[in-house]
Amino acid sequence: MYDLKKIIKKIKEIIALEKKGKKVFDKDVANALAIPQTTFATMKKRNSIPFKEILEYCANKKISINWLFFDQAIEMLAEETDKFFQVHYFADIRASAGGGAFNFDDNYEVLSIDKTIMNNITASSSEVLEAINVDGESMEPTLQDGSIVFIDRNQTNISKDGIFVASTTAGLFIKRIRQRADGMIELISDNKAYSPEIITPDEVEIVGRVVGNIESL
């Protein structure tokens, strides 16, 4: 469905503007996306889309991801908002899968992303999601260090199985969360090398459920 060669061509157009018309090569695109050149060449050959790296590139450059994928201009997004997810991407926030991290703030980029793309990434029907980075290895192999996770703030019921983002007195965590019979809250890692952490209910606020993720390369 997505053509990486066309996406590369558009990124080259952006880079060419920055380089004042100088010829732009695939290696320049690989560098812009922070992907090793040999890996990028293989991805191009296989038409394997680096969603995570493109998402970060668009957020940093303030570029419409829909323009890259579908030639959709900002005006089209305003007219057809029902076809898009609004993603608040906190590029500077790294929710910890192993230790403490910073809490949410107002420093985020708003990305309008076509539902065709998001349906390949998330399992949420919400039209507004938040995205942050994973820091640490305690949720491996489910979530890798450096991946991006999408959060649905409307889903905070921890009685349902799943992975949640929790704001605690020690920072922001991504864990499986369970309330014990004695009322205490257990933060559970998928990596068996990490023991569960136990805290009181007044020490934690459930931010939302993780409904999708994009792994780093």
* Angle formed at CA 153 by CA 148 and CA 125, multiple of 5 degrees: 85
Residue 95 pLDDT class (50, 70, 90 cuts): low
Q: So what's the pLDDT on residue 1?
A: 60
Looking at the structure, do residues 27 and 76 belong to the same domain, yes or no? no
Whether the per-residue pLDDT at 106 is higher than 70: the answer is: no
Query: 204, 216, 202: which is closest to 175 by C-alpha?
Result: 204
pTM value is 0.65
Note down the domain range covering 17: 1-49
Residue 62 pLDDT class (50, 70, 90 cuts): confident
* Rounded distance between C-alpha atoms, residue 131 and residue 153, angstroms: 11
Looking at the structure, do residues 44 and 85 belong to the same domain, yes or no? no
Q: Determine, yes or no, domain membership for 102.
A: yes
Looking at the structure, do residues 31 and 80 belong to the same domain, yes or no? no
Whether the per-residue pLDDT at 100 is higher than 60: the answer is: no
Question: What confidence tens digit (pLDDT) does each residue in 108-160 have?
Answer: 777 777 677 777 777 666 767 888 888 889 999 999 888 888 899 889 999 88
Looking at the structure, do residues 13 and 85 belong to the same domain, yes or no? no
Whether the per-residue pLDDT at 105 is higher than 90: the answer is: no
Number of structural domains found in the chain = 2
| Residue for token pair 């938040």 | 130
In this structure, what CATH number is given to the domain that contains residue 106? 2.10.109.10
Whether the per-residue pLDDT at 203 is higher than 60: the answer is: yes
Looking at the structure, do residues 116 and 162 belong to the same domain, yes or no? yes
Q: Which residue has the higher pLDDT, 169 or 24?
A: 24
Looking at the structure, do residues 175 and 133 belong to the same domain, yes or no? yes
* Rounded distance between C-alpha atoms, residue 106 and residue 210, angstroms: 20
Q: Determine, yes or no, domain membership for 57.
A: no
Q: Determine, yes or no, domain membership for 65.
A: no
Q: So what's the pLDDT on residue 80?
A: 47
Residue 214 pLDDT class (50, 70, 90 cuts): confident
Q: Which residue has the higher pLDDT, 177 or 119?
A: 177
Phi, psi dihedrals of residue 37, rounded to the nearest 5°: -60, -40
Q: So what's the pLDDT on residue 76?
A: 44
Q: Determine, yes or no, domain membership for 55.
A: no
Q: Determine, yes or no, domain membership for 147.
A: yes
Looking at the structure, do residues 90 and 45 belong to the same domain, yes or no? no
* Rounded distance between C-alpha atoms, residue 10 and residue 28, angstroms: 12
Q: What is the mean pLDDT of the chain?
A: 82
DSSP state of 118: H
